[in-house]
Chain A
Amino acid sequence: MTQRIIYPNDEGGVSIVIPAPECGLTIEQIAAKDVPAGKPFKIVDVADIPSDRTFRNAWEYVE
C-alpha cells in the first residue's frame, strides 16, 4: 500500500501505521482496527512521511 495512517501518541509524538500489503484489509479497516480507540487519525500518502528519521521522536501530529 502507498498509504499510511498517522495518529498522535501519548508521548506527544506521532505514531505511523504501516499496512501489510497482503493482509486483505482496506486502509480504512486497518485504521479501525489498529488505531487505538478514541485517537484521531489521518490517512496520508507515503510520500508525505519523511524518510529522514534523524529527528523521528520530534515529529508531531498536526490537526
Chain B
Amino acid sequence: MSKISLTGNASGTGTLTIAAPNTNTDRTLNLPDAAGTLFVSGQALSATTGSFSGDVTLGSSVLATPSGSAPSYTCRAWVNFNGTGTVAIRASGNVSSITDLGTGLYQANFSTAMPDANYSVVWSTDYWFWMPNASTNTTTSSRITTVNTAAASVDVALVCMSVFR
C-alpha cells in the first residue's frame, strides 16, 4: 500500500488547515501520480510543461479542445470596421485604432505589438476583391487595399482582420 506523508516546514510558523466543506456526500480527492505543486483559486497558473484535456472554461468563455492532436492557436488581434462614409470600428480586440489612409486603403494598429512581423494575417471584406498588403505588415500594424474589378481602390462597408502568430 502506498502511503500519504504530511511534512511540516521548519522555517515557517503558520498552521495549515485542511477543512471539510458543508456536505453530506462522501468524496475522494485523487492526487496525481507525479511530483509538482497544486494550484489553488486566485493563484496565477503557470507551468512549463503539461497540458489540459477536454473543454477549458475561462470566465464566461469556453475554449473547446479540437479533435486530433494538432495544436490550436488563438487570434492575437482582430477588428471589424466600416470603411465607408464615417469610417468607424464596430468591434475589436488588441487593436488601438485603424488608420484611413485614403480610398480603400486601411491600416489596423495593434494595441500590443506582435513579437515579429512573421504573423499570418487574414483580411476579409463584403466586396469582391481585396489585396492584403503583406509588404507593409509590421509588428505594430497591418494594411489592406480594397479594389474593384478595374483594380481601382474603393471603400468597403465591411472590413475584418484577424492575426495569428
Contact = CB atoms under 8 A, between A and B. Distances in A.
Interface of A: 5, 9, 11, 13, 15-25, 30, 33-34, 46, 49, 51, 53, 56-57
22 contacts: A5-B97, A13-B102, A15-B99, A15-B100, A15-B102, A16-B99, A17-B98, A18-B88, A18-B97, A18-B100, A19-B89, A20-B96, A20-B111, A23-B96, A30-B97, A46-B86, A53-B85, A53-B103, A56-B100, A56-B102, A56-B103, A56-B155
Contact of B96 (A33, A46, A49): A33
B35 interface: no
A34 B97 contact: yes
A34 B92 CA distance: 16
A22 B97 contact: no
Contacts of A23: 92, 95-97, 111
B111 A25 contact: yes
B102 A11 contact: yes
B125 to A, nearest CB: 16
A22 B102 CA distance: 24
A49 B89 CA distance: 15
A9 B103 CA distance: 13
Nearest to A24: B111
A27 B89 CA distance: 14
Contacts of A57: 102-103
Given A11-B102, A33-B109, A53-B103, A18 B87 contact: yes
Interface string B67-108: 000000000000101001111110110011111111100000
Interface in B3-51: none
Contacts of B96: 19-20, 23, 25, 30, 33-34
Nearest to A54: B103
Given A15-B102, A20-B89, A57-B102, 16 more contacts: A5-B97, A9-B102, A15-B101, A17-B99, A18-B81, A18-B97, A19-B96, A20-B111, A23-B96, A24-B111, A25-B96, A25-B111, A33-B109, A34-B97, A34-B141, A53-B85
B40 to A, nearest CB: 29
